[in-house]
C-alpha cells in the first residue's frame, strides 16, 4: 500500500505544480486571444509533443514533460525572431504577411498580455485562500515568538536568551510569529544577529550568532517555542482571513527578495534559497501530510510565481512589461540589439541558476535522507536492544 500512496502523492504533486504554471500560461493565452494577438502554440507540458492538433491557427499540444506549459506569442518574443517591422510580420520560415489590424501589438496591449500570466496566478491564489477559509476543518494559526526553552551551550543560551522571553525583533525587523523569527535567522546566516526580547516588563537587546547545520544547511539558534502555544497549522497557514493570509504571503516573499538585494543579507539569503527540487519535495511532504495544507502551499506558490514573474528582468513577464512601458512613455522602441542581448544573457543566467539550484537541492536532499535513514536505524537498534533486554532470561539463577 505504501508504494500506491507514494505513486498517488507524486502524481498529485505533478498535477498541482503543473496547474500553477498552466494557469499562468492560460492567462497569457486568454488575454492574447481577446486582444487579437497571433497565438502559435499552446502546450500543456514541455518537450516533445505526445499529442497535438491545430485548431483555428493554434497548435494545441500535450507534451512529454508535465511541468506546466507555455504559449508561443510572436509579438512578445524577447529575441525579436518574429518582431513586427515596417507593417510586416515575419513567420518562422522567413515569409512575411501583412499585419492584421486586429493585432497591432501596441505597448499597452503587450503590457496587458504580459501581465495576464501573473494575474492568473493571483486569481488562483485568491480563489484558494477564500476556499480554504470556508472549510471548517482546515487548520490555521501562527505560533507566537515565545521562547519555551534554550539548549545549554547553544547560540541562544550563549547570547543570553532565556525561557519566557518574547522575541520582538531580529536585526531591527519586527517579528510577530515563530515562523517570521526563523525567516530572519536564515537571512542573518552565521553572522551575529541582534535580538530584542521582552522579559517580564522590560526589553533587552541580545546578540546571538546562529549556527548552520551541515546536513540541512539551515541556520538555528537552539531556542524552542513555548509548549503552551503549540499550533498544529502549517507555517504558511497563519490566518483564516483570506485577505490577511494573502498579505502575509506577499510579505514573506517580498522580505526574501529584499534580502537578496541587500548586500549584507544577500549571501545568507541566497544560501537559504531553494530551487525546483526543494519546492517539489515540500509539496510532496504536504500532500502526504494533509491535503488542505498542500492546497495552502499551492496558494503560497502561486503568489510566489506572480511576484517573481513581475520582476523587471528580461525573459520574465516583468521585463516585457518594462520594455513596453519604456516604449509607451518615450514613444520609441528600446534598441533591438540591447533587448535581444539582454534576453539572451538573462536566459543563460537563469538556466545556469536553475542547474545550480537543482544540483544543490539534490545534494542537500541526499544528505537529509541519509541522515533520516541513519536515525531510523539507530532508533530501531535501540528498540531491538530494549526488547532483547526485556525478554532476557539468565541460563541459571543464583539461589
Residue 160 Cα distances to 145, 151, 213, 222, angstroms: 16, 11, 21, 12
336, 83 contact by CB (below 8 A): yes
- Return the DSSP state at 38: -
Sequential DSSP letters for 341-371:
HHHHHHHHHHHHHHHHHHHHHHHHHHHHHHH
How far apart CA 87 and CA 73 sit, in angstroms, is 17
Catalytic positions = 25
Instruction: Work out the end-to-end distance of the chain between its first and last CA atoms, rounded to an integer number of angstroms.
Output: 53
Q: Which residues contact 156 (CB under 8 A, 6 or more apart)?
A: 147, 150, 208, 221, 222, 223
Whether residue 28 contacts residue 113, with contact meaning beta carbons closer than 8 Å, is answered with yes
CB 156 within 8 A of CB 207: no
Cell representation of residue 136: 471548517
Residue 44, classed as helix, strand or coil, is: strand
**335-369 burial: b if 16+ Cβ within 10 Å, else e:** eeeebbebbeebeeeeeeeeeebeebbeebeeebe
Does residue 268 contact residue 188 with C-beta atoms inside 8 Å?
yes
268 neighbors 191 (Cβ within 8 angstroms): yes
Amino acid at each position: 500500500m505504501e508504494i500506491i500512496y507514494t505513486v498517488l502523492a507524486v502524481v498529485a504533486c505533478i498535477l498541482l505544480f503543473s496547474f500553477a504554471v498552466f494557469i499562468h500560461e492560460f492567462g497569457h493565452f486568454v488575454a492574447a486571444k481577446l486582444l487579437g494577438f497571433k497565438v502559435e502554440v499552446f502546450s500543456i507540458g514541455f518537450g516533445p509533443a505526445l499529442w497535438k492538433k491545430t485548431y483555428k491557427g493554434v497548435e494545441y499540444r500535450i507534451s512529454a514533460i508535465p511541468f506546466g506549459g507555455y504559449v508561443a506569442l510572436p509579438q512578445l518574443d524577447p529575441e525579436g525572431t518574429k518582431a513586427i517591422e515596417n507593417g510586416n510580420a515575419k513567420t518562422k520560415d522567413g515569409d512575411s504577411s501583412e499585419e492584421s489590424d486586429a493585432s497591432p501589438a501596441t505597448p499597452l496591449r503587450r503590457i496587458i498580455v504580459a501581465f495576464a500570466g501573473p494575474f492568473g496566478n493571483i486569481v488562483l491564489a485568491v480563489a484558494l485562500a477564500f476556499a480554504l477559509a470556508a472549510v471548517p476543518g482546515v487548520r490555521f494559526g501562527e505560533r507566537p515568538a515565545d521562547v519555551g526553552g534554550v539548549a545549554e551551550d547553544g547560540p541562544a543560551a550563549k547570547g543570553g536568551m532565556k525561557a519566557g522571553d518574547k522575541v520582538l525583533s531580529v536585526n531591527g525587523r519586527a517579528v510577530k510569529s515563530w515562523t517570521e523569527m526563523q525567516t530572519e535567522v536564515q537571512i542573518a546566516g552565521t553572522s551575529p544577529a541582534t535580538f530584542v526580547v521582552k522579559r517580564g516588563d522590560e526589553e533587552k537587546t541580545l546578540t546571538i550568532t546562529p549556527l548552520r547545520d551541515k546536513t540541512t544547511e539551515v541556520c538555528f539558534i537552539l531556542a524552542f517555542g513555548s509548549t503552551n502555544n503549540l499550533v498544529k497549522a502549517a507555517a504558511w497557514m497563519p490566518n483564516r482571513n483570506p485577505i490577511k493570509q494573502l498579505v502575509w504571503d506577499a510579505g514573506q516573499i517580498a522580505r526574501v527578495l529584499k534580502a537578496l538585494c541587500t548586500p549584507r543579507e544577500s549571501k545568507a539569503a541566497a544560501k537559504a534559497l531553494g530551487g525546483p527540487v526543494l519546492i517539489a519535495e515540500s509539496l510532496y511532504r504536504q500532500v502526504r501530510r494533509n491535503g488542505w495544507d498542500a492546497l495552502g502551499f499551492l496558494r503560497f506558490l502561486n503568489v510566489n510565481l506572480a511576484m517573481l514573474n513581475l520582476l523587471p528582468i528580461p525573459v520574465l513577464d516583468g521585463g516585457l512589461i518594462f520594455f513596453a512601458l519604456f516604449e509607451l512613455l518615450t514613444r520609441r522602441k528600446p534598441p533591438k540589439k540591447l533587448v535581444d542581448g539582454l534576453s539572451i544573457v538573462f536566459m543563460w543566467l537563469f538556466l545556469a541558476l536553475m542547474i545550480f539550484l537543482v544540483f544543490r537541492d539534490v545534494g542537500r536532499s541526499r544528505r537529509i535522507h541519509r541522515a533520516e535513514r541513519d536515525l531510523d536505524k539507530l532508533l530501531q537498534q535501540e528498540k531491538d536492544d530494549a526488547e532483547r533486554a526485556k525478554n532476557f532470561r539468565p541460563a541459571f539463577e543464583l539461589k
